[in-house]
């Protein structure tokens, strides 16, 4: 008696959102099954990978990442090298320098960086603010303005600043709105509800439901994603059917497993290897839980996750 | 198929004797249906009724034990597909693979590397728990047994990958006391392998060229009376392996198909040979989705640190928060003269706070006392993170060891400042920021 295979069919699906313009676009979401469950339904759009670059240049990056970008000095050159990484689908520019508690660059200065990067590459573009809610409320609308026509994804509006960012990105300049919440299904849904109430098209929203590095409270990320996908597909909850993007690298390259030097922790071995595995394992877990796109930093991580996605598609 | 309370009730003696502790047979039946009681707790059940019921009320996935003593592990016994539905119970165990196809130097290098990863993380020992010993085609019993013997010297539980009953029998002679797994039954040899495994008293691993063959072989082995099994769900490639592993678990838990109600073995060496980063990614995927034994080529700290952290997170009970041990944690090379900072013992808070404190580069002593494993505001509201609990811990544990008399408390419990000053004479109480992300700036400003 053979095994009685019972595929799990859902009558709902995740929204498909296209980022970018012209010939080079990527579409994320669109699936009506759990991640990589190709035995239930064929994959609509495979998960996508973005490469993180920062307006602060390469100083904060690990040795292995710096080695890849060797020779690139301007933001334009860095962006081009990022876009050229094997397996990269889009470039994610993070405007870390805007942080008032850090470099505190002016909005004008950062906009120049955005323009330089946008002019240098034609692949889809994701721009992330500095995570300070007041500064982002000022910065991201300007970014939306200068990127008109690029159909870029802007990360992120939060509960505190969704009006300024959601309206500028989603209504005035027709970009895609990234809605960021703090690892909680209700907060994620609430932000989608208020953003659509502003008049933003639900099909132009991508969620960042919050993330963590593996080992750092990651159980909340798993369960939040599991529950969001369960509600989106199983209960047809259209306020949770936005695809999910997870900025992995920002979390994983900040934990001590990745940052501790080999001199400090000789038994741990190469810092670069630790950084790659922390990034790769966290990204793989994010994808298995339901992320439709991940943002990574190390070229080797991009290559590995790209292989994983192809193998499971 | 699972029975409901009424179906179970029909099989009870309906005497309402109360000997099982329930007021009526109906009440007892309802409890059995929910899994709260075992059918054997009724003393008056007829043998036939017992036989048919214990089968029907058995958990959907069997719990299989491997290894002995400190190296004994429980696999399977899961009841849900997603951790938020209840909790996952049996952590996946990782194995590093040895093979008769390796030369001596490679084997020695692996044997030396396996014990290297061994550390503690939030009260849990992290190490490579299993060693997979593969018998490649053409190897003879002497060669394989010699390798098994070497691997056995590590004191880890073994998984023998061997499809030849004679060779397996010889190898088990040298290691069966450690209760290894014999992974080698398939459609063509299952009868002989079953005899070898049963005789040695070890768990038998079953594989098949596809799910149908695996299903039939498991059914045949069950017919022979062997229910001490694990299922090798490794397929021809990554995609097939993932599909097999998920469908086996889902059939058991969602569709109550008990033939597939066994733990799994996923062999990453077969599907991603030589690619350590891809194996790392896959180990993560199968830790999330339903691998019970995960076999890898290597486990260095690079793989271990994220992987064991991930497993520890995913397998925490959602109803019980993870806690760190109370104590004084010196950070950034702190000594007895360094600043004292305190927060709660909730693992997530601890990791976020200690991470930011480390980032600041300022030497300080992070003091954690028992706050019930709750977040700052919750434990404060529950009275577990109060001026009394903090001051008592400081007096008994910190004052004898630390000379600095400056204490930083979380901004969210700024209200405790006055009380703490009264209860801790000689201490300067400093209110820190409300959020961990502001700590770096706060500490830098303080230094200035």
Q: Is B407 helix (H, G, I), strand (E, B) or coil?
A: strand
Question: How buried is B381 (Cβ within 10 angstroms: 0-12 exposed, 13-18 middle, 19+ buried)?
Answer: exposed
**Residue B288: which of A5, A313, A8, A290 has the closest Cα?**
A290
- In the stretch 277-316 of chain B, residues with CB closer than 8 A to chain A read 277-278, 280-285, 287-289, 300-303, 305-310, 312-314, 316
Of A38, A222, A304, the CB nearest to B83: A222
pLDDT confidence tier of residue B7, bands split at 50, 70 and 90: confident
A42 to chain B, any CB pair closer than 8 A? The answer is no
Across chain B, what does the average pLDDT equal?
Answer: 92
**For B277, which of A2, A304, A313 is closest by C-beta distance?**
A304
Is B94 in contact with B102 (CB distance < 8 Å)?
no
pLDDT in tens, chain A (313 residues): 789 889 999 999 999 999 999 989 999 999 999 999 999 999 889 999 999 999 999 998 999 999 999 999 999 999 999 999 999 999 999 999 999 988 999 999 999 999 999 999 999 999 999 999 999 999 999 999 999 999 999 999 999 999 999 999 999 999 999 999 999 999 999 999 999 999 999 999 999 999 999 999 899 999 999 999 999 999 999 999 999 999 999 999 998 899 889 998 899 999 999 999 999 999 999 999 999 999 999 999 999 999 999 999 9
The predicted-structure confidence for B311-354, as pLDDT tens digits, reads as follows 999 999 887 777 888 999 998 889 999 999 999 998 888 888 98
Suggest the residue from A8, A183, A218, A254 to mutate for an interface test with chain B (most B CBs closer than 10 A).
Answer: A218
Q: Does residue B172 contact residue B196 with C-beta atoms inside 8 Å?
A: yes
Tell me the two tokens of residue B334.
Answer: 């702190």
The alpha-carbon radius of gyration of chain B (Å, integer) is: 27
Which residues does chain A have within 8 Å of residue B285's beta carbon, measured at their own beta carbons? 36, 284-285, 287-288, 308, 312
**Is B218 near chain A, with CB under 8 Å?**
no
Residues 6+ away with beta carbon under 8 Å from B97: B131, B132, B133, B134, B161, B267, B269, B295, B296, B297
Does the CA dihedral B419-B373-B430-B333 come out positive or negative? Answer: positive
Going by their DSSP bridges, the two strands B229-232 and B203-206 should be labelled as parallel
Q: Is A274 on the interface with B (CB under 8 A)?
A: yes
Q: What is the ipTM of this complex?
A: 0.97
pLDDT at A281: 98
- Looking at the partner chain, which of A6, A37, A274 has a beta carbon nearest the beta carbon of B302? A274
CB contacts, 8 Å: A130 with chain B = none
pLDDT at B1: 45
């Amino acid at each position: 008696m053979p095994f009685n295979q019972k595929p799990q069919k859902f009558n709902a699906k995740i929204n498909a959102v296209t980022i970018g313009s012209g010939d080079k676009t990527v579409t994320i979401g669109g699936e009506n099954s759990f991640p990589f469950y190709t035995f239930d339904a064929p994959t609509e759009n495979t998960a996508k990978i973005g490469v993180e670059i920062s307006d602060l240049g390469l100083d904060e990056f690990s040795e292995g990442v710096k080695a890849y970008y060797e020779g690139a000095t301007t933001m334009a050159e860095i962006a081009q090298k990022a876009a050229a990484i094997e397996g990269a689908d889009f470039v994610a520019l993070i405007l870390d320098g805007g942080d008032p508690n850090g470099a505190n660059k002016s909005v004008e200065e950062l906009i120049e960086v955005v323009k330089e990067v946008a002019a240098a590459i034609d692949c889809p573009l994701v721009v992330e603010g500095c995570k300070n809610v007041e500064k982002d409320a000022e910065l991201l609308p300007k970014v939306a303005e200068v990127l008109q026509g690029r159909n870029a994804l802007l990360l992120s509006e939060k509960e505190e600043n969704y009006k300024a960012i959601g309206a500028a990105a989603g209504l005035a300049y027709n970009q895609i709105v990234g809605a960021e919440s703090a690892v909680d299904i209700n907060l994620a849904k609430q932000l989608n509800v208020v953003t659509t109430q502003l008049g933003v098209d639900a099909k132009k929203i991508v969620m960042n439901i919050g993330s963590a590095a593996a080992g750092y409270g990651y159980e909340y990320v798993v369960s939040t994603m599991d529950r969001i996908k369960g509600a989106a597909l199983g209960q047809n909850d259209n306020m949770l059917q936005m695809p999910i993007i997870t900025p992995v690298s920002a979390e994983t390259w900040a934990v001590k497993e990745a940052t501790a030097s080999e001199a400090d922790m000789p038994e741990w071995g190469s810092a670069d290897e630790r950084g790659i595995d922390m990034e790769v394992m966290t990204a793989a877990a994010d994808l298995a839980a339901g992320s439709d796109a991940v943002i990574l930093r190390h070229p080797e991580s991009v290559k590995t996750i790209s292989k994983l996605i192809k193998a499971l598609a | 198929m699972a029975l409901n309370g009424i179906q179970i009730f029909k099989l009870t003696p309906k005497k309402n004797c109360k000997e099982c502790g329930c007021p009526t047979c109906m009440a007892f039946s309802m409890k059995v249906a929910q899994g709260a009681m075992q059918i054997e707790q009724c003393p008056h059940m007829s043998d036939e009724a017992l036989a048919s019921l214990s089968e029907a009320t058995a958990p959907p996935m069997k719990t299989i034990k491997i290894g002995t003593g400190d190296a004994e592990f429980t696999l399977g016994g899961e009841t849900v597909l997603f951790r938020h539905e209840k909790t996952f119970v049996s952590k996946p165990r990782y194995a590093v693979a040895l093979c008769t196809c390796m030369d001596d130097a490679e084997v020695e290098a692996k044997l030396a590397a396996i014990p290297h990863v061994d550390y503690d993380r939030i009260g849990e020992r992290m190490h490579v728990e299993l060693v997979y010993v593969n018998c490649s085609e053409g190897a003879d019993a002497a060669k394989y047994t010699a390798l098994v013997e070497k691997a056995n010297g590590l004191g880890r539980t073994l998984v023998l990958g061997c499809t030849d009953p004679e060779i397996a029998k010889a190898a088990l002679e040298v290691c069966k006391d450690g209760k290894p797994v014999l992974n080698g039954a398939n459609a063509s040899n299952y009868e002989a392998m079953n005899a070898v495994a049963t005789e040695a008293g070890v768990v038998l691993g079953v594989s098949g060229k596809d799910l149908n063959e695996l299903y039939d072989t498991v059914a045949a082995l069950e017919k022979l009376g062997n229910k001490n099994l694990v299922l090798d769900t490794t397929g021809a490639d990554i995609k097939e392996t993932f599909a097999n592993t998920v469908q086996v678990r889902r059939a058991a838990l969602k569709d109550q198909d008990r033939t597939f109600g066994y733990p799994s073995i996923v062999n990453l060496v077969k599907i991603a040979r030589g690619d350590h980063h891809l194996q790392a990614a896959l180990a993560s995927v199968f830790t999330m989705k339903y691998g019970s034994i995960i076999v890898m080529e290597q486990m260095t700290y690079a793989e271990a640190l994220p992987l064991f952290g991930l497993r520890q997170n995913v397998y925490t009970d959602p109803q019980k928060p993870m806690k760190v041990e109370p104590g004084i944690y010196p950070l950034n090379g702190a000594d007895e003269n360094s600043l004292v900072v305190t927060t709660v013992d909730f693992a997530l808070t601890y990791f976020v706070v200690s991470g930011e404190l480390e980032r600041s580069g300022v030497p300080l002593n992070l003091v954690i006392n028992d706050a019930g494993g709750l977040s700052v505001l919750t434990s404060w509201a529950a009275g577990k993170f109060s001026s009394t609990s903090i001051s008592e811990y400081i007096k008994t544990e910190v004052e004898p060891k630390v000379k600095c008399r400056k204490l930083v408390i979380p901004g969210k419990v700024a209200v405790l400042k006055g009380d703490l000053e009264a209860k801790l004479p000689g201490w300067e109480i400093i209110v820190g920021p409300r959020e961990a992300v502001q700590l770096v700036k706060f500490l830098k400003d303080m230094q200035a």
